[in-house]
Structure 1
Amino acid sequence: MKSVKIAFIRHSVTEWNAEGRIQGHFDSPLTKDGRELAAGWIEKLQPQTFDAVLTSDLGRTIETADIITEGLTLPTLRLKGLREQDWGEWSGLTMDELHAKFPGKLDEEVAKGWEFTPNKGENRIECATRGTKALEDGISEIIRTVDKDEIKILTVAHEGVIKSVIYKLLDHDFMPEERKLLKKRRLHWLNWNGELSIERLNEEL
């Protein structure tokens, strides 16, 4: 059986990140600083050592991956299932706008942990399920096309889906009082040997 190592990272900083706006399934381009930040990850990631790339189908992950792998020709899959959690009616709002438009609703949902569900969006269980499936489907497709016994995949996704997939693998809860496992702007390594597992988390980029 082939073994697969997955470098799992979030996209770089976007215009809406800089404005504090919720993106969800909406999209915005990387900022100038975001593009420079992504370019700075090249030395750590050594993209020439990867055999393939997975991203969501949203522009911010594609743009980040393109910067990191510039000049390389790698098999690439863009998967809708790796999109950010769907924040429904909250998408496009800042936190101040969210609290003004839906008073008390955010705190109410945060207290539900895995069942956190933005208005007309999806909960974290749904996000983890489709994110995990997309990742496994992408790995299976790459295994069929890359003729190597040990394969290395760069995967650029979104904070919500990364957290949901990793927390599901670790059987960790999202309750507010639980310790947060993932740090911002870090590199996480997963393995696949018939099933997904965690190798290590929170490497500095």
Structure 2
Amino acid sequence: MDTLTRKPFVFLRHGQSTHNQLQRIAGHLDVQLTDQGRQEAYHASQLLNQKVWPLVISSPLIRALETAQIASGRDPDHQDARLAERHWGELEDNPVPRAMHYRMTPPGGEPWEDFVTRTIAGLNDALTHDQIPLIVGHSGLIRVIRHLSNGEPSGPRTPNARPLLIQPVNQHQWDISLWHPNT
């Protein structure tokens, strides 16, 4: 199993995208934020800008990049393609099913193990810095953290543009909680 560096970070999922609004799978599709998504990113900025972020890293997909710009008030220091959402192959642009089978490899898509490996590699590079980074990306990142913590990627959907503090609890588990400016 891949190992994630045991350091805290703040994660922000992108604001509502056009595909979120339509309840469709975006995956690697480079879809835009909606007006609501931009408002969500602005609301996140009200919490996040209480702290000057020494490092902002974003997925290069436009929905994450624009969220990072709005929420942090500046361009990210780095865009890392390893933090992009999972490639869902033939499932992309289709309605989100009631139950997602995250461990299966979608037709023409990225295997779960490959997605976990690349996401952890991107996070580990971000966590080489001394300060807590702000990482802006996609809900798949939280599924990877859940997988590392309890062996299961499933769980409640990650809210759009709500800062989350991700921190190690012990050698294997991670805590995911809402981030507050005084944290």
TM-score under structure 1 length normalisation: 0.71
Q: Which runs of 4+ in 1 moved over 6 A?
A: none
In structure 2, give the amino acid aligned to 1:42: S
1:190 maps to 166
Equivalent of residue 121 in structure 1, options 98, 104, 109:
109
CA gap 1:197/1:77 in 2 versus in 1, 3 angstroms: farther
CA gap 1:45/1:61 in 2 versus in 1, 3 angstroms: same
In structure 2, give the amino acid aligned to 1:34: G
Q: In the aligned structure 1, how far is the partner of 2:137 from the partner of 2:64? A: 6
- 1:171 pairs with 2:150: yes
Q: In the aligned structure 2, how far is the partner of 1:21 from the partner of 1:183? A: 15
CA contact (8 A) 1:22 1:94 kept: yes
1:86 maps to 87
Q: C-alpha offsets along residues 6-32 of structure 1, whole Å, 9 cap, x if unaligned?
A: 101211101121112211111111111
CA contact (8 A) 2:150 2:173 kept: no
CA contact (8 A) 1:182 1:202 kept: no
For structure 1, which runs of at least 5 residues remain unmatched after alignment? 97-105, 144-149
Higher helix share: 1
For structure 2, which runs of at least 5 residues remain unmatched after alignment? 1-5
In structure 2, give the amino acid aligned to 1:159: S
Which of the two has higher C-alpha Rg? 1
2:137 maps to 157
In structure 2, give the amino acid aligned to 1:80: A
The alignment-based identity, stated in percent, is: 26
1:68 maps to 71
- Name the Cα RMSD after superposition: 2.9
**Shift of residue 132 of structure 1?**
0.6
Higher strand share: 1
2:3 maps to none
SS at match of 1:119: coil
2:27 maps to 24
SS at match of 2:148: helix
**Shift of residue 158 of structure 1?**
0.5
Q: In the aligned structure 2, how far is the partner of 1:131 from the partner of 1:33? A: 27
SS at match of 1:41: helix
1:12 maps to 15
**Shift of residue 95 of structure 1?**
4.0
CA contact (8 A) 2:119 2:141 kept: yes
